[in-house]
């Protein structure tokens, strides 16, 4: 019998918790029979609700926690006051080796700050990032980072994001040599800000499969495996795409309930359209990883449905099975020489510029 995949769940985080967490855990376990859960939260409520899911009984443990990190809590404050929270205890379980991954639909900022403090950065990684898979027209989606951990970045951060994206795409999408693109406002080399140009140069000289710039309207085409950008732009892209999907789904619903004829037609196509769009529904397609730390922490959408939370658990499951962090450490080691060379080049440039009176 193969070993169980043990995942710790912050059962109190997110708008639908704990119901969507429990029901989601149940759905995910129907797909992956080797899943075993550690639920953290109000044990009385959890034990009661879990008793309705025969599939979960005997395949999970419930650990009582006293506290919940609210969505409004400032991350740093949550860090201080949330030592006994369901979120913190679920992360601790990863650090202590009881679980291989943690999933939470709670406060994103708090989850990041806590994960970083408890699990620490992978040696060599300066800035952990939020990474996720955007649904695309062709293929299984495009890996994108940073989705919001670092509003301001420098070219060294973006270079490391590319490196982590490469490992993630290898592990989760099973790509041999993932193609990597840098988000920009045009595809010509002179386009964009200073940071895009500098990162372009670094990536071009690296051994990564860098294919150049990509623009917003090409993100959903699925022509590249990884898209790299700073946390401000990444967050804006992710949320804009989500908002647009919700907007269009609403429009379509209206379009299908007009007169009697369209109502009849609507009934005939409803299921088929629903199916076609299920891959892009933000409530279902779900699960972003906080990458660059010593442990797997997956963030589910705060408003995810049970199906959505199940999706986040499945992402965590894949990351455990494919040992993504080991891959990152390995690749970092390979890149170490190249990375340090870049820094030296930059330092020399900087210094010469100063000596020459250019700065």
Locate 189 and state its tokens: 């080399």
Does residue 137 touch its own copies according to CB under 8 A? yes
Does residue 14 touch its own copies according to CB under 8 A? no
With DSSP H G I counted as helix, E B as strand and the rest as coil, what are the percentages for the chain, rounded to 5? 50, 15, 35
Which CB, 39 or 200, lies closer to its own copies?
Answer: 200
Does residue 148 touch its own copies according to CB under 8 A? yes
SS3 267: helix
Does residue 152 touch its own copies according to CB under 8 A? yes
277 and 249 Cβ atoms separated by less than 8 Å? yes
Is 60 exposed, middle or buried (CB count within 10 Å of its CB: 0-12, 13-18, 19+)? buried
- In whole angstroms, how close is the CB of 199 to its own copies at the nearest point? 14
* Residue from the set 45, 211, 236, 338 that interacts with its own copies by CB under 8 A: 236
Which CB, 177 or 257, lies closer to its own copies?
Answer: 257
Does residue 15 touch its own copies according to CB under 8 A? no
**How, if at all, do strands 142-145 and 129-134 pair?**
antiparallel
8 and 90 Cβ atoms separated by less than 8 Å? yes
Separation of alpha carbons 348 and 340, rounded Å? 12
- In whole angstroms, how close is the CB of 16 to its own copies at the nearest point? 17
- In whole angstroms, how close is the CB of 247 to its own copies at the nearest point? 4
Q: Nearest Cα to 149, choosing from 267, 291, 24?
A: 291
Separation of alpha carbons 314 and 262, rounded Å? 37
Length of the chain: 359
8 and 38 Cβ atoms separated by less than 8 Å? yes
Site string (167-206) toward its own copies, x via CB under 8 A: ----------------x-x--x-xxxxx------------
Separation of alpha carbons 136 and 88, rounded Å? 34
Torsion sign (Cα): 343, 344, 346, 350? positive
- In whole angstroms, how close is the CB of 226 to its own copies at the nearest point? 17
- In whole angstroms, how close is the CB of 183 to its own copies at the nearest point? 7
Which CB, 193 or 336, lies closer to its own copies?
Answer: 193
Which CB, 54 or 243, lies closer to its own copies?
Answer: 243
Which CB, 263 or 341, lies closer to its own copies?
Answer: 263
CA distances from residue 4 to 90, 91, 288, 320 in whole angstroms, order as listed? 17, 18, 22, 11
50-79 residues in contact with its own copies (CB under 8 A) are 74
Window of 33-41, 48-56, 94-102, 268-276 that interacts with its own copies by CB under 8 A: 268-276
- In whole angstroms, how close is the CB of 312 to its own copies at the nearest point? 18
Binding interface with its own copies (CB under 8 A)? 74, 136-137, 148, 151-152, 183, 185, 188, 190-194, 215-221, 231-233, 235-248, 250-252, 254-256, 258-259, 261-262, 264-269, 271-273, 275-277, 279-280
């Amino acid at each position: 019998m193969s070993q169980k995949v043990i995942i710790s769940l912050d059962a109190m985080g997110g708008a639908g918790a704990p119901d969507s967490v429990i029901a989601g855990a149940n759905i995910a376990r129907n797909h992956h029979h080797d899943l075993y859960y550690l639920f953290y939260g109000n044990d009385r409520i959890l034990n009661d609700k879990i008793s309705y899911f025969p599939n979960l009984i005997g395949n999970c443990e419930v650990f009582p926690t006293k506290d919940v990190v609210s969505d409004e809590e400032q991350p740093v404050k949550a860090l201080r006051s949330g030592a006994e929270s369901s979120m913190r205890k679920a992360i601790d379980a990863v650090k202590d080796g009881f679980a291989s991954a943690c999933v939470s639909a709670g406060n994103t900022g708090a989850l990041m700050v806590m994960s970083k403090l408890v699990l620490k950065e992978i040696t060599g990684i300066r800035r952990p990032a939020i990474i996720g898979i955007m649904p695309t027209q062709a293929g299984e989606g495009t890996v994108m980072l940073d989705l919001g951990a670092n509003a301001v970045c420098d070219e060294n951060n973006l270079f490391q994001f590319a490196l982590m994206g490469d490992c993630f795409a290898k592990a989760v999408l099973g790509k041999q040599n993932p193609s990597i693109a840098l988000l920009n406002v045009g595809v010509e080399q002179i386009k964009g800000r200073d940071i895009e140009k500098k990162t372009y140069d670094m990536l071009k000289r690296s051994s990564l499969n860098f294919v150049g710039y990509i623009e917003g309207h090409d993100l959903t085409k699925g022509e590249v495996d990884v898209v790299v950008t700073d946390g401000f732009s990444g967050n804006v892209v992710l949320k804009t795409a989500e908002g647009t999907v919700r907007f269009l789904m609403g429009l379509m619903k209206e379009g299908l309930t007009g007169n009697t004829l369209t109502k009849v037609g609507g009934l005939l196509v409803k299921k088929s359209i629903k199916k076609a769009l299920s891959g892009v529904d933000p409530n279902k397609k779900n699960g972003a990883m906080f990458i660059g730390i010593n442990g797997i922490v997956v963030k589910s959408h705060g408003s995810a449905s049970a199906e959505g939370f199940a999706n986040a658990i499945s992402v965590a499951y894949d990351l455990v099975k494919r040992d993504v962090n080991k891959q990152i450490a390995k690749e970092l080691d390979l890149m170490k020489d190249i990375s340090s060379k870049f820094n030296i080049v930059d330092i020399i440039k900087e210094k010469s510029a100063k000596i020459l009176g250019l700065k």
